[in-house]
Amino acid sequence: MSLPTASSELACDIFCAVVDNFGDIGICWRLARQLRAEHGWRVRVFVDDLNVFHALCPEIDATLARQEAAGVVIEHWHAPMPAGDTLEIADVVIEAFACEIPHAYISAMACRERKPVWINLEYLSGEDWVTDFHMRPSLHPRYPLEKSFFFPGLGAGTGGVIKESDLDARRARFDANAWWRERVGIARQARAKTVVSIFAYENPTVDALLAQWRDGGAPVVLLMPEGRISGAIARFFGLPKFAAGASAQAGALEAHALEFVAQPRFDELLWAADINFVRGEDSFVRAQWAAKPFVWHIYPQADDAHVPKLDAALAHYTAGLASAARDAMTRFWHAWNGNGTPDWVAFWSHRRELETRAAQWATELVRIGDLAGNLVSHANTRVSR
């Protein structure tokens, strides 16, 4: 078999351990599809939780050990896994979020005549230190292998974030009227009503925000996919549950529960709303590409280790805002993440500035390059050594 070159079709294995929620496999699945569809790589995804994967991609059968979707091979990763003995080792091996790929596979990597390009795909961060560590190599302590750390980021000198080449075109073609009829079952809302989407972790401040919308002078329409705060929404409206298809109204607040959709259709929800509350990493990135104002519920960590990451993202995003809008956004994001009570009126009084900044930021973010493209360039450079 001839050795791969930078221009040939490369084989790529992505290892993903589902730690919590949909973020880990969500990012890996987007990356895998893009590497296959746009760069022609032959991609396999090894994932340890097919049930979670099924929620994002309904065509996945959680009972199968091996299957294919969107041109990508899916392998159920479980111990013991003698991958290095039974499977061909890929040209590019991506260890997502330091998930520790099987020892047998690493051993087989070391035996390969042309050593694989081994990449540890890290979590997204806007912190300044990321640029110093992005693509930094690390030698394996036992084998003649080198692993490089690849950091998604929000600034120059990082790996950027995932963006498919056709995303802007799909957003331009989006038929909001048809979406409202299909997903919500009602006509598209008038501009006089603020449409809010919420995809969040459990959040003790949600009741205060719902009360502000209920008691406010301007009507708010809430769109909420079934998820971890569905119970809180149900309790607020005095309902036993708030499942897909349910609607409720109190004062100026009207709420609609939506069915959880396959990953490629999540963007449509963001496009249909005026402002989006998102969580984790994957939906955080999609909200930025939606070019709409958004609020981020960052994944909480012990000892408030997530707060510097929140502030770093705010520093990037709010750099183009006037001080009053920047301060209001910072206070609101911190309150939504557990530090204070969110003040909706003060925050949304800057709506026009926030809308302008959202569009500007999406343009700025493009300049870093998309994650898949940057990763392919890095891998091609190393393969051709």
Write out the catalytic residue numbers.
Answer: 24, 281
Q: Give the separation between CA 336 and CA 352, rounded to whole angstroms.
A: 21
Residue 352 CB contacts under 8 Å (≥ 6 apart), including other chains: none
CB 84 within 8 A of CB 104: yes
* Residue 299 CB contacts under 8 Å (≥ 6 apart), including other chains: 20, 21, 23, 201, 279, 280, 281, 306
> CA–CA separation, 217 vs 121, rounded Å?
46
Minimal CA–CA distance to 14: which of 36, 46, 37, 38?
46
Q: Give the H/E segment covering residue 275.
A: strand 275-279
Do 262 and 53 touch, CB atoms closer than 8 A? no
DSSP letter for 122, please: P
| Bridge partners, 66 (sequence order) | 75
Strand partners, 146: 139
Decide if 10 contacts 286 (C-beta within 8 A).
Answer: no
3-state secondary structure of 374: helix
| Phi, psi at 119, each rounded to 5° | -125, 130
Rounded to an integer, what distance in angstroms lies between the CA atom of residue 344 and that of residue 360? Answer: 23
Map tokens 């990012």 to a residue.
27
